[in-house]
Chains A and B, each alone.
Chain A
């Protein structure tokens, strides 16, 4: 995120910046704005944590846009993790019928060369973050 980059960042290589983005902030953004926010931060080498994740269509677009931005020796893509099979839908029958099913899932996204998943199951994501 540009606001955070200006104040902290990782300019001296001494640490890794985490951007934790609330569901409330993401709700105010259009799909492409969310994807831009995430990828701009990841391009800067930051780790993004989304309180409520993305919906499936946004995830699909995130993969698509990520692919268009991969560049040899500069950006190899993203590592993304959410808990699998989290089907805590609060929507009823008519919400599903109208496509209003909601599912929130904590999501961690980072540059593929900095974030490595060590272990993942239904209740735990263990990841290693490196500086370079």
Chain B
């Protein structure tokens, strides 16, 4: 956690009584596994899911909030709302969806909804979240402009952030590549799909956002 995020949190705790509900945004590029993670967390602690998952990019086109998730680990507990956000991109081309066997009308509609979703995600980041879980696909190059910009935007807001290196079950996964890209932040490896290393995931969430 950064110096200023920690300072802000300490000051906030001084003037608050009891546990405050934290709104944690799940951010990252398209197809990093954000909804799979949100569903895993929600199912583990509430029994419900957050939204549908898909291998087609931009499946999540509206920010979805799951409220009142209480996570307990090692004597620490945190009460959070998780906000599953659309994957952030600087370009959306409907032809990408046609490559996934969609009809043109459906692809155009999906691209329109996707652009609205990205804009909505950026608005949530500037206005409405108290912390961020940044999800990356461990099998992909993390040195992309979207990742660099988004982590920079999160840092500029002094929000506490955890980097989740997802999809460690894939053959090409490299946790070290993600650690090298963002050495200033704690990286937690996991597979949200397979449920691997979820104990550490919940420990870190309780530690960082509690």
Residues of A within 8 A of B (CB): 55-57, 59-61, 63-64, 66-68, 70, 72, 76-82, 84-85, 96-97, 112-113, 117, 120-121
Contacts and interface: CB of A to CB of B under 8 A. Distances in A.
A72 B125 CA distance: 26
Interface in B86-138: 88-94, 108, 111-112, 115-116, 118-119, 122-123, 125-126
Contact of B91 (A59, A76, A82): A76
A64 B121 CA distance: 9
A112 B90 CA distance: 8
B93 A85 contact: no
Given A57-B126, A82-B145, A97 B92 contact: no
Nearest to B152: A56
Contact of B90 (A57, A79, A96): A79
A59 B90 CA distance: 10
B149 A80 contact: yes
A57 B153 CA distance: 6
Majority secondary structure of chain A interface residues (helix, strand, loop or mixed): mixed
B156 A55 contact: yes
A99 to B, nearest CB: 8
Contact of A77 (B89, B125, B149, B153): B89
A88 B91 CA distance: 28
Interface in B3-52: 4
Given A63-B90, A67-B118, A120-B143, 14 more contacts: A56-B149, A56-B153, A57-B156, A59-B149, A63-B119, A64-B119, A67-B116, A68-B119, A72-B94, A77-B92, A79-B91, A80-B90, A80-B145, A120-B145
A64 B149 CA distance: 13
A56 B143 CA distance: 17
**Which of A59, A61, A97 has the most chain B CB atoms inside 10 A of its CB?**
A59
Contacts of B56: none
26 contacts: A55-B156, A56-B152, A56-B153, A56-B156, A57-B126, A59-B152, A59-B153, A60-B153, A64-B119, A64-B122, A66-B90, A68-B119, A70-B91, A70-B92, A70-B115, A72-B111, A78-B90, A78-B91, A79-B145, A82-B145, A84-B181, A96-B4, A97-B4, A112-B90, A113-B93, A120-B145
Contacts of A79: 90-91, 145
Nearest to B126: A60
A77 B58 CA distance: 15
Nearest to B182: A85
Contacts of A78: 90-91
B80 to A, nearest CB: 23
Contact of A84 (B4, B91, B143, B155): B143
A7 B94 CA distance: 34
B126 A67 contact: no
A77 B93 contact: yes
A65 B163 CA distance: 26
